[in-house]
Amino acid sequence: MPRWVWFIVLGLLAALLFSNVFRSEDKGEEISFRAFVDSAEFNEVEEAEYNNNTGEIKGKKADGSKFHTTGPVPLSEQVEAGLRSSIPTFEFHTPRSSIWASILPLLIPVALIFLIFWWFQRRAQGQMSGIMSIGRSKAKTYSTERPGTTFEDVAGYEGVKKEIVEVVDFLKHPDKFAQIGARIPKGVLLVGPPGTGKTLIARAVAGEAGVPFLSVTGSDFMEMFVGVGASRVRDLFQSARKMGRAIIFIDEIDSIGRKRGAGLGGGHDEREQTLNQMLSEMDGFEATEGIVMMAATNRPDILDPALLRPGRFDRQVVVPLPEADDRLQILNVHVRSKKIAADVDLPLIARGSPGMSGADLANLVNEAALFAVRSDSDQIRMVHFENARDRVLMGQRRESMVMSEEERQITAYHEAGHAVCAAVLPHADPLHKVTIIPRGMALGVTMTLPEEDRHTLRRDYLDDMLVMRMGGRIAEELVFGVSSSGAADDLAGSTEFARRMVREWGMSDRIGPMAWRSSGQVFLGDDMMTSREYSDETARVIDEEVAEILRAQENRCREVLSKHRNGLDLVARALLEHETISGAEVTRLVELGADGPMGDPRDIIGSALGARSTGGTPSTSTTTVASAADLEEPDAPETWPAP
């Protein structure tokens, strides 16, 4: 029986046992024993009852009123005779004690001892059952009454949906495939970067098919005991066979599906035995018709080849980062339950967020809602999305950090160097915003946004990106004559870009049409067991080519900033004054600086940034960015960058 039934029974018994204790009785007025005797002598008492154990006397007078008193125990013969002669109805009563009152003090300790022994026994049984059931699968089963998610809940990814719709059709109509002799893939592997919705797509497949869905993670198979993983795999597939048609979904399958024999010491034997059992269950001696296995991973390169062969995971479905149209649909899903202002342009936000996954977009919408709450706004406005995007991409503002005037000047010229290069180079990404407000780990940030999603990188684009990355360091050298440590991250990124151009992308005339893969993960043991794929002479040539590319772009960056020195000074001066300026304003300052000899810089900056004081929009700008002080205001005239 359910546990609540026992609580009800115990409550009723307690109420029955203690009902007499809490029962109230109207005994009437309390009088003294002398007053009771006097009333009896004057025939004012109609009836009375005497308790032989306690001497309590209860009675009723001739006028109908009740009374009670306490007399001596026992009554003297003279008093008793007088009362009997004066009171018409005078009775003596000796009450017997309840059987429960005598038994209950004995039953309570016995019951407590019994309950303690019962609790210890149940606990011991639970521990034994836990040890005995350690080999059982930890998969969570979702029945057909609770499918939860459908393809309508998965925004975008139309191509991915078409890839796996066959799985749904097979589970719904298996006879249609059997008539023509077609065999549905036994396994579908969802591959993609983190946060792209692989688990959500698997849940949608279960919801559309209307069949039991067994969900488990790769780490659930591993335990400290030998053979537990293989036992859980057997129990998982046995449970799926009992259901007839079912979907088994293993999230993060790379935790148990790594290549066998890789790593120091030959790998983990327990993990390999678990993988061997899974391979046997998927396509071994016994057939598993009607069971479709789905798995998700963002590291398909480390999976064992036997796991990916036809007959096991026949099909790999790539779930890439969403395109602009997909991002718009994802944003529409996440803003359904939120109060969005009329000035919010979701298509503009979708175009201005390339490279963001579905999880990133969900976080962006949530951060915008948090900014709206902080500013006491009843709706989420466009400025809140802008602040949220800055928070996600550039980090939280470090309000408590105080920089000296010298550091502010160095940071201003450093960021101005990046900004001027981005503004004048023809193939660089459009400049969106530059700020010297410390965010995250950076003292300043220059932010660019691509006009469209890039799938290939051209040589002229890479050259301009290298020039832009070196703009901060070259600007410091031109203005102050020395370099600082602020360019460390820029140099590391530029070197990595140049090395990939030479080693992987064939963009070196001396190397020619040859490419070598990047170094693999050390923990796999592959690189540690294999020799380098090229000679020492080739390695020297690669280093020389990388250095030549970096030197060439460094000289080009120095020429660009020397040519636009007036614009560099104006942008740095504007940053020191306003801390944050938009890409359009940087372009305007560079254009004004290139017209000829400068007048008063304050007048030039005022004309370029005049929209801030008048509330208008610069005539040459498609993007207006509020000042650093205005970024926290919900009504700031800030819009998303248009491509």
Tens-place pLDDT, residues 337-370: 888 888 888 888 888 788 888 888 888 999 999 9
- The correct CATH number of 3-93 out of 3.40.50.620, 3.30.720.210, 2.40.50.180, 3.30.830.10 is 3.30.720.210
| pLDDT band at residue 142 using 50, 70 and 90 as cut-offs | low
Q: Considering only CA atoms, which of 606, 617, 613 is closest in space to residue 630?
A: 613
* CATH, range 405-632: 1.20.58.760
pLDDT in tens, 28-37: 778 888 888 8
Per DSSP, 83 falls in state H
More confident residue, 95 or 566: 566
pLDDT category, 417, cuts 50, 70, 90? very high
The end-to-end CA distance of the chain, in Å, is 67
Q: What are phi and psi of 463, to 5 degrees?
A: -60, -45
How far apart CA 268 and CA 79 sit, in angstroms, is: 101
| SS3 assignment, position 353 | coil
pLDDT in tens, 35-68: 888 887 788 888 888 887 777 888 888 787 888 8
Could you name the CATH architecture of 324-394?
Orthogonal Bundle (1.10)
pLDDT digits (tens, 9 = 90+) for 526-565: 444 445 678 888 889 999 999 999 999 999 999 999 998 8
CA torsion 405→410→413→416, rounded to 10°?
Answer: -90
Question: What was the pLDDT predicted at 240?
Answer: 77
Domain with CATH 3.40.50.300 in the chain: 140-318
Q: Which has the minimum average pLDDT: 90-94, 245-249, 323-327, 598-602? A: 598-602
Distances (CA, A) of 491 to 409, 429, 548, 554, 604: 21, 19, 14, 11, 33
Top pLDDT among 614 and 506 is at 506
Calculate mean pLDDT across residues 454-468. Answer: 88
Choice among 163, 272, 386, 415 that is catalytic: 415
CATH 3.30.720.210 placement within the chain: 3-93
Of 214, 236, 235, the residue nearest 140 (C-alpha): 214
Q: What is the DSSP string of 21-72?
A: HH------EE--HHHHHHHHHTT-EEEEEEETTT-EEEEEETTS-EEEEE--
Intervals of CATH 1.10.8.60 along the chain = 324-394
How many Å apart are CA 157 and CA 205, to the nearest integer? Answer: 13
CATH class of the domain defined by 140-318: alpha beta
Residues of the chain within CATH 1.20.58.760 domain(s) are: 405-632
Q: Average pLDDT of 161-186?
A: 76
Q: Return mean pLDDT, the chain.
A: 76
Q: 415 catalytic, yes or no?
A: yes
